[in-house]
Amino acid sequence: MNTAVTSEQVMHWLDEVPDPEIPVLTITDLGIVREVRVDESGGAVTVALAPTYSGCPATEAIEQSVVDALGEHGLDDVAIERRLSPPWTTDWISDEGREKLKAYGIAPPAEGAGKRALLRGGRAIACPRCDSLATSLVSEFGSTACKASYRCDECLEPFEYFKCI
């Protein structure tokens, strides 16, 4: 049974929903929660989510996680709105999310840098372990489509880089 809630409460609850592919991040860390609307009675909730990219295999799992998480708080009238415009960008990842990625061993995306800048060699990718900028691209494809594989030329550790979109 729904009880009167606010969009702020719902957003607070969504702060606890992990990303299924990088579980140290929440969906709010990623910036994919674009809007929370609560109807005037405080019962029906609509959550607008922006997929990280149109083919992301985790999109449906994330949507179901939102419904499940809000259901645990007594909300049974939850609608998910998939928002494709404007498209998600890595610039929407929070500062806290970037720190969590680095602590987890994944180099966070450079802010304001699109993929073209990276392919032209415009940005050095810092190793998340030793912060060296002496790193080498191993493969454009990492464990998920949103990451690339790198190696640090200083500490010799492999790591993944969350690609800029």
Residue pLDDT tens, the chain, 165 long: 445 889 999 999 999 999 999 999 999 999 999 999 999 876 799 999 999 887 888 899 999 999 999 999 999 999 999 999 999 999 999 999 999 999 999 999 876 555 444 454 557 899 999 999 999 999 998 888 788 999 999 999 999 998 876
One domain, residues 144 and 77 = no
One domain, residues 62 and 111 = no
Closest CA to 146 of 124, 130, 162: 162
- Beta-strand ranges (E) seen in 14-98 are 33-38, 45-49, 78-82
Sign of CA dihedral 12, 13, 14, 20: positive
One domain, residues 58 and 17 = yes
State the total domains in the chain.
Answer: 2
One domain, residues 78 and 103 = no
Q: Give the domain-ending residue among 33, 59, 82.
A: 82
Are the CB atoms for 53 and 165 separated by under 8 Å? yes
User: Is 92 within the bounds of a domain?
Assistant: no
Q: Give the domain-ending residue among 30, 48, 82.
A: 82
User: Is 88 within the bounds of a domain?
Assistant: no
**Residue 122 confidence (pLDDT):** 55
In angstroms, the CA 99 to CA 94 distance is 9
One domain, residues 12 and 72 = yes
**Residue 144 confidence (pLDDT):** 81
One domain, residues 136 and 73 = no
In angstroms, the CA 136 to CA 118 distance is 12
One domain, residues 72 and 122 = no
Structural domain that includes position 47: 7-82
For Cα atoms 36, 37, 39, give the angle at the middle one, nearest 5 degrees: 155
